[in-house]
Amino acid sequence: MSDPKRVAILISGRGSNMKALIEQARGYEVVLVASNKVHAPGLDTARALGVPTFAFEAKRDEFEAALERSLADHKIGTIALAGYMRILSAAFIGRWRGRILNIHPSLLPRHKGLDTHNRVLAAGETVSGCTVHLVSEELDSGDVIAQTEVPVESGDDASRLAARVLEAEHYLYPKALSEFVRR
C-alpha cells in the first residue's frame, strides 16, 4: 500500500479548498492535483504552487482508468475530493475504500447533495456548517471525520452563508486531512 501521507486532490473547478489543502499541509504532501475538466481554473493554481497536475475529459470509466494510472505513478495513498463534481464509480470507491475524503458544505447527515445553503435557509435552521467525511458508494453518507458549525445570521442569503461556510471549510479540511493521514 502507498504512503497515506502522499495525497492527490481531485477538483472540477476553481480549487479554493485545494489551495487551502496545499498551503496548510501539515504531515502530508499534496503530490498530484487531478481534474475531470482540462480547463478547471484550479489546475493553474496547483501548477503555480508547484504541484503536478493531471486533467482528462472523458466518460467516467475512461477517466477513472487514466486517473488510476496517474495515482499509481505518483504513489498516492490518500485522495481528497475538493469541489470534484462527478460521482465516483462503486468500483473505484471499492479500490480506494477508507482512503478517499470529501468536504461537504453542510452538517451531514443533513442536506446531502447540492443546493445545501438554500435548503438550510428554507428550513429555518440557525446553524449550518461543513463536514469532512469518508467517501462511500452512497452520496455524502460515509463516516464523518470532522465537522464545524457556522451560525446562520439574520439577513443571510445563500451566497452570504456559502461564503462563511467556505471559510470554515478552508480551516477544517487541512486540519482533518492532517489528522486522518497520521492515524
Is 98 marked as binding a ligand? no
Kindly name the residue from 39, 74, 104, 117 that is annotated as catalytic.
104
CA 124 to chain centre: 27
Is 182 marked as binding a ligand? no
Is 42 marked as binding a ligand? no
> What is the rounded distance in angstroms from the CA atom of residue 148 to the CA atom of residue 128?
9
Is 16 marked as binding a ligand? yes
Is 86 marked as binding a ligand? yes
Residues across the chain:
183
Three-class SS of 75-128: CCCEEEECCCCCCCCHHHHHHCCCCEEEEECCCCCCCCCCCHHHHHHHCCCCEE
Is 87 marked as binding a ligand? yes
Catalytic, 104? Answer yes
Maximum Cα–Cα distance for the chain, whole Å? 50
> What is the rounded distance in angstroms from the CA atom of residue 29 to the CA atom of residue 79?
11
Q: Give per-residue burial for 88-114: e unless 16+ CB within 10 Å, then b.
A: beeebbeebeebbbbbbbbbbebbeee
> What is the rounded distance in angstroms from the CA atom of residue 183 to the CA atom of residue 176?
11
Contact between 16 and 166 under an 8 Å Cβ cutoff? The reply is yes
Instruction: Give the residue ranges of the annotated binding site.
Output: 15-17, 60, 85-88, 102
Binding site membership for (6R)-10-formyltetrahydrofolate: which residues? 60, 85-88, 102
Provide the annotated active-site residues.
104
